[in-house]
Structure 1
């Protein structure tokens, strides 16, 4: 289809809180920054589906709390336009804890994962039960 953009709508800013949907021990994280984000001067870095972020664990097991971790965003509330023209949005903002190379720390992912994140991160696609 000509003229329909497949770019991501960036719906998550620094300070946004995300649910963690894997079994790594973290329950909620807060975005600190977005690596490899090239924006405009004084603009707050933002992230979208499939982006890796650096986050702080706010809720979870005592061993995980207050740690700084890498995470990949797999769901976002803000509607995103896909290349075929469909709009996709979810009920919550969710992420999966990963290593700096993209390997998942947990062994199970609960709930659906966006296709944009699964296409970009093969380990998340292999672990996910449902890809939307």
Structure 2
């Protein structure tokens, strides 16, 4: 699961089920990612595993550099369109769904992140937080 991450995440609205396509927000050369599973989800009959901001997923590259395609890569969700409620009562959502490619320990494959990332993700993944230019 979460290698090198601290703390626990509160319950959030899960906005990205398996088979969702998300943008790739880093400079690895991948354009979009296709979610094939969510780390740490046990499951219930007929329920699709879903991810939210800060979750690690297993994904494949659908559009991007040929050397990244046709293999399963871990990624962390940094933005989601579905509104979720924060503990202070604020409802928060982003303009797009996006994730960054990481290694199994949670260290980023790329070196830069385009656009803002969610605070929930930054709290759990210090390596992603240090590469982000805006945390909301």
Q: TM-score range by the shorter chain?
A: over 0.9
Q: 1:69 maps to what in 2?
A: 73
RMSD: 0.9
* Count of aligned pairs between the two proteins: 127
Note if 1:114 corresponds to 2:118: yes
Offset, 1:71: 0.3
Counterpart among 26, 31, 38 of residue 27 in structure 1:
31
Q: 2:6 maps to what in 1?
A: none
| Equivalent residues of 1:96, 1:104 under 8 A apart | yes
Give, in whole Å, the separation in 1 of the partners of 2:133 and 2:120. 15
Offset, 1:25: 1.4
What secondary structure sits across from 1:130 in the alignment? coil
For the pair shown, the structure with the greater C-alpha radius of gyration is: 1
Offset, 1:67: 2.0
Gap regions ≥5 residues in structure 1:
1-5
Q: 1:82 maps to what in 2?
A: 86
| Equivalent residues of 1:13, 1:46 under 8 A apart | yes
TM-score, length basis structure 1: 0.93
Give, in whole Å, the separation in 1 of the partners of 2:133 and 2:70. 29
TM-score, length basis structure 2: 0.90
Counterpart among 117, 124, 135 of residue 131 in structure 1:
135
Q: 1:3 maps to what in 2?
A: none
Offset, 1:85: 0.5
Runs of 4+ in 1 over 6 A off after TM superposition: none
- Does 60-69 or 80-89 show the bigger shift? 60-69
